[in-house]
Structure formats: structure tokens, C-alpha cells
Amino acid sequence: MHTINHYTGKWQRALSPKPKAPRVGSLVRIHDNPDAREIDDFRACLFAAGLQIGSFERSFSRLKMGAYKIEPLAA
């Protein structure tokens, strides 16, 4: 499970090799207040792969995070 919490830089498009987007249906933990650069880089990576952050699945209240399912872009 990928975790988006603080800035790591691992989702930047300029990296070589290119970052791999998670698969459709996989879960991603996202902090309630994620770093803007990290979430923007992650969303750009997903968009390039034709994916998006989808439905909310579960709350991790002690970690202040939620789990979201990765889904294909809506047409």
C-alpha cells in the first residue's frame, strides 16, 4: 500500500526511471492533511496512467489517514 503523507519526491515526472502508478483497485493511504507537492505529484502520475484517486475505503484515525481505492478515470 502506498502512503502519501510528507514530501518524498518519489512521484516527480522528471525521475528516471519513471515512477510506476499503482494498479487499479489497489489502496493508497493519504494523510488528512498531505503535503501539497507530494499529492500533486502523485495525482499527476495517476493522471498520466489514466487513473484517479477514487472512493474512500477506510479510516486510520490514530494515524490521521484514510485509505482510498485507485480507479480508472471517469469518461
The pLDDT-based confidence of 16 (bands split at 50, 70, 90) is: confident
Q: Domain-by-domain residue ranges, the chain?
A: 2-72
How much is the pLDDT for 14? 85
pLDDT tens profile 51-75: 999 999 999 999 999 999 999 998 6
Q: HEC string of the chain? A: CEEECCCCCCCCCCCCCCCCCCCCCCEEEEECCCCHHHHHHHHHHHHHCCEEEEEEEEEECCCCEEEEEEEECCC
- pLDDT at position 24: 95
